[in-house]
Each structure stands twice: as structure tokens, then as C-alpha cells.
Amino acid sequence: MGFAFDIPQFLTWYIPLIFAMVVHEAAHASAAYLGGDRTAYEVGQVTLNPIPHMQRAPVGMIVLPILTFAWMGFPLGFAHAPYNPYWAIANPRRSALMAAAGPAANLLLALIFFALIKIGLTESVDWFELSYEARSLVLPRPQDVLTGPGLADTGFLANFAKISMIMLFLNVLLGLFNLLPFPPLDGSGIIEGLLPSEARSMFREFRSTPTASIVGILIAWFLMDKLFWPIWLQVSQLITG
């Protein structure tokens, strides 16, 4: 039996994932630029154009999503907007704002799509309808929650419905995951910028070690599995209720 890679399903997830990651990294880069660090700006990261971000992180934005989708049916990725560490040391509060900007942008985008979905479900607008899965399952897959008008599963509005729910899902996931306070996630950068001077220096040294990043990712991945699904269940119930 040959291997089948579902390209339409992959693109339904991949396009929202890339957009969510680009918004995240562009928010980091923009906050750094506004705070006085031109590092990301000078390499073209203060943009919503995905090409400069893909050129900087081709493994995280192209290779890894393909591999993880083939393996799990769900694409994962990573990207990174550069910054000047000496600027961050000299401006800890601005550095904390830079770290917070990425997940904040994702949560704002999630809020926008949540509002769009709720408006689209109203009788006066009637862009979307709840699917049979959304009415019968406790936690349907994001792409199975909505259909187009008349329970249509094809057409522009049906595809837009799926992408909107996936955008909501991915931005809630990215926003919450990156706020966890473990290296190398943004939450640890926020904490570093807010700590008193001596504690900040010690925490910075700890964050910079490869061991801290590896252990931090493992802990965050374990905790996120426990924290995210109850939160997503509540979000889903707000959509379907």
C-alpha cells in the first residue's frame, strides 16, 4: 500500500500555520524596532511577507511542517526573529515587551477570528453553519466544526469556515504555548526582563544554556498537553453554544 500525502488537507493547515508564525515573528521584530533594536528590521523581518521569514528558517517553516504533517497529520514549525542581545541586556523592559509581542499578536489574531466566526454564524450574516460533528461531538477537530451555508462542505465559504477555525486553533495554541515561562519560549524572556538586576543576570545565564532549552521544551510540551485541551474545549463550546 503506497504512502498518500493529502496535499489539500496539508495546505488547509499549512497556510494558516505560516500566517500565524509570520504574524508572531513580525510582532517580535516590530516591537524590537520600536524599542530601538534594528537587528530584525535590517534583515527584513518587520514584514508580513512570509518569504524573508522562510529564508531565515527554511527548516522550521518548510521542512518540519511537511515532516510533522506526514507523521502526525498535523504540521508543526518554528521561526526566529533575531535581536541584539546587548540591546536586550541594556533595555530589559523593552526586551520583555519584545518577547510578549509575539504571543500577544497570536492571541489578538485568535480573538479576531473568534469574533469573525461568531458573526458568520449569526442568522443575519449566515456565512457559516455548525456541522453535524460540532452538534454531536464534545470536541470535534477544528476543521470539522463549521460548514458553509446549508451545511455545504465545498465552495468558498465552506473552505473559509475550515481555515477560520484552524486559524483560531493555531493562534490560541501558539499564543498560550509561547507564554509558558520555560526557555527558550517567549514567556521566559518576559520573566527575564521583569526580574530585578541580579536575578535577571542569573536567569539570563541559565536561559542561554542548551540544557535549559531542551529541558524547557520538554516540560512545556508536557504541560501544554494538559493545559491546552481544557482551554480549547471552552473556546469550542463558546463557538458551538
Using pLDDT thresholds of 50, 70 and 90, give the confidence band for residue 1. very low
Q: Are 68 and 74 in contact (CB under 8 A)?
A: yes
Q: Radius of gyration (Cα) for the chain, nearest Å? A: 19
**What does the DSSP 8-state code read for residue 93?**
H
Q: What per-residue confidence (pLDDT) applies to 2?
A: 46
The CA distances from residue 121 to 118, 146, 172, 205, in Å, are 5, 9, 20, 50
Lowest mean pLDDT across 89-103, 164-178, 197-211: 197-211
Rounded-to-integer distance, Cα 141 and Cα 82, Å: 34
CA distance 221 to 80: 19
Q: Is the pLDDT of residue 8 over 60?
A: yes
pLDDT category at 145 given cuts 50, 70, 90 is: very high
pLDDT in the model for residue 20: 98
Is the pLDDT confidence value at 193 over 50? yes
Average pLDDT along the chain: 94
Lowest-confidence range among 56-60, 126-130, 134-138?
A: 134-138
* pLDDT value, residue 5: 83
Average pLDDT over residues 38-66: 96
Cβ burial 150-174 (10 Å sphere, 16+ → b, else e): eeeeeeebbebbbbbbbbbbbbbbb
The CA distance from 24 to 206, in Å, is: 24
Question: Average pLDDT, stretch 159-171?
Answer: 97
Instruction: Supply the pLDDT for residue 26.
Output: 98
Q: Give the pLDDT score at 94.
A: 97
The CA-CA-CA angle for residues 64, 10, 148, to 5°, reads 145
- 210-238, pLDDT tens digit by residue? 999 999 999 999 999 899 999 999 999 99
Contact present, 160 and 125 (Cβ < 8 Å):
no
pLDDT at 3: 56
* pLDDT surpassing 60 at residue 15: yes
Does 163 score more than 90 pLDDT?
A: yes
Helices 210-240 and 156-179 meet at what angle, rounded to 10?
A: 140
Flag whether pLDDT at 170 surpasses 50.
Answer: yes
